[in-house]
Amino acid sequence: MKTKNKFKKISGNWYFLIITILIYLFILIFKQDLFFSSLNFFNEIILKIIPIFILVFILMVLTNYFITPKFIMKHFKEKGIKKWFFVILGGILSTGPIYLWYPLLENLKNKGLSYGLITCFLYNRAIKIPLLPIAIFYFGWKYILILSFVMIFMSVIQGMIINKLMNKDKKE
């Protein structure tokens, strides 16, 4: 029984890693050259991204320190264009898994936040400041900067379309 509970506690992420390692062991038996070339490539990637992950950790600590749902909620009370601005900023700065933010979004929806603004918030969550170092490492700062701006612009367009489609005529 105890062993069964212990297995339940192991997250799916660990199962994923274990399965991947088993695949590698299988390849080691049947195709050694592929095993070693893949492992070499893996080492190259790991060595490249370790320093970036240290930076990611520091940025995550900083955002967790400064940005809380309370902080976001306070600024969502702004009006007009300012509200869009804070929704974009809130989406970008919000951290953690999305389900942590659903209660807040439900609360805000009940308080009159339009579907368009919710769309804008959710879309901008895709832009993660703490993960920017690793994104810049792979794609370059110019590409990431342009992509982020295009995504922010598109998030507003999407918000407007959703507002129309959801037939929301509440004053923003």
Q: Which residues bind other proteins (CB under 8 A)?
A: 11, 13-14, 16-17, 19-21, 23-24, 27, 34, 37-39, 41-42, 45-46, 49, 53, 56-57, 60-61, 64-65, 96, 98-99, 102, 105-106, 109, 115, 118-119, 122-123, 126, 128, 131, 134-135, 137-139, 143, 146-147, 150-151, 154, 157-158, 161-162, 165-166
- Least spacing, CB of residue 99 vs other proteins, in Å: 6
* Greatest distance between any 2 Cα atoms in the chain: 66
- Structure-token match 């612009």, residue found: 153
Token pair in block for residue 52: 């970036």
Contact at 8 Å (CB) between 88 and 124? yes
- Least spacing, CB of residue 1 vs other proteins, in Å: 25
Distance of CA 13 to the CA centre of its chain: 17
- Least spacing, CB of residue 84 vs other proteins, in Å: 17
Contact at 8 Å (CB) between 151 and 123? yes
Token pair in block for residue 54: 């240290």
- Least spacing, CB of residue 9 vs other proteins, in Å: 12
How many whole angstroms separate alpha carbon 119 and alpha carbon 36? 46
Q: Which is closer to other proteins, CB of 85 or CB of 138?
A: 138
Q: Which is closer to other proteins, CB of 1 or CB of 169?
A: 169
